[in-house]
Amino acid sequence: MIGIPADGDLEAVRELQPGGVIFFARNAAPPTELRRLTRRVNEMLAVPAFVGVDQEGGRVQRFKDGFSIVPPAREIGNGGAQNVHLSAMTVAAELRAAGVNLNFAPVCDVPVHPDDTVIGNRAYSTDPIRAGLLAAEYVRGAQGSILCCAKHFPGHGGVGVDSHSGLPTFEGTREELETHLTPFRGALAAGVGSMMIGHIRVPCLDPSGAPASLSAPIVTGLLREEIGFRGLIFTDDMEMGALDQTQSGPNAVRALAAGCDVVMICHSRDKALEAVDAIKKALRDGVLSQERVQDALDRVAWAKRRFGIVKSEN
């Protein structure tokens, strides 16, 4: 999945044929213009794309012109479950009308670390049970129109480093981690179609020090096998400061091998090309199995059918 540049140049879309694209504030426009842009994107692709955005509300709302201005999740959640449900329905309907079919929300983090600077009021609550109930209500409200993505598994609220700039480490025990997993379980119970893996080290699960996005014990062992999530798994942006930016290709391979289904490279065309080349080479060399890649492709196809992005064969 790649980002669209500010100038709207879609040559990388034509060249790379990605499974999806993501919009940022640099692409913000009124709904009719966005609809034309998404149509142009899909005209260049053999298979219709995920068209995603971070439209959480509050300080993370990419589109404003022609869209409802949405308060932060904490403020919406303070109004109760029905308020969350109605807000999610509104956001989803507006995005779908603009040609967007994927929203990277709800935020399921529980911001309890005293040095937290990145989550704050983007989360519904510092109480994990309440956060899970409200995340579930968001999913129920939004997924009638678009695909939701619960983020940032296994929880960014228990760390004090922003993964945009460095690699955070969750220092707690497996039992303490359960606080941060609770909202994701709530979103799963509501049928959330996708989740995003954060770039967070969790030594109690993976002593190797690999960030969650590159960790088979976390993605496959915890999320797939223990928690039982069967939907689509996105990485967070692979160009964030938490990851070694000289390793774009190998990191993309590691993310897929760990169990992620969609690798997100949101800014650099060159890094996206490096990732594609590295994945092809890893398949040729047997470093990455055909079965793992086919499994990812099957999940992508399922999600696109399930959420009306491509027509179902039935």
Please state, in angstroms and rounded to a whole number, the distance separating the CA atoms of residues 142 and 85: 8
Domain ranges of the chain: 2-306
Tell me the two tokens of residue 98: 């603009």
pLDDT at 181 over 70: yes
Beta bridge partners of 21: 2, 51
Mean pLDDT score of the chain: 96
Residue pointed to by tokens 């807000």: 87
Task: Check 127, 164, 267, 295 and give the catalytic one.
Answer: 164
Task: Check 236, 267, 295, 298 and give the catalytic one.
Answer: 236
Active-site residue, 236 included: yes
Dump the DSSP string for 274-307. Answer: HHHHHHHHHHHHTSS-HHHHHHHHHHHHHHHHHT
Beta bridge partners of 196: 234
End-to-end CA distance of the chain: 27
The pLDDT assigned to 311 comes to: 82
Identify which of 39, 50, 44, 25 has the alpha carbon closest to the alpha carbon of residue 231.
50
pTM of this structure? 0.97
Active-site residue, 244 included: no
Please state, in angstroms and rounded to a whole number, the distance separating the CA atoms of residues 179 and 61: 27
Chain segment 73-124, per-residue pLDDT in tens: 999 999 999 999 999 999 999 999 999 999 999 999 999 999 999 999 999 9
Lowest mean pLDDT among 29-43, 46-60, 199-213, 299-313: 299-313
Chain segment 27-82, per-residue pLDDT in tens: 999 999 999 999 999 999 999 999 999 999 999 999 999 999 999 999 999 999 99
Written as one letter, the residue type at 106 is: P
pLDDT at 143 over 70: yes
8 Å CB contact between 138 and 145: no
pLDDT at 313 over 70: no
Superfamily of 2-306 according to CATH: Glycoside hydrolase, family 3, N-terminal domain (3.20.20.300)
Please state, in angstroms and rounded to a whole number, the distance separating the CA atoms of residues 200 and 116: 13
8 Å CB contact between 116 and 145: no
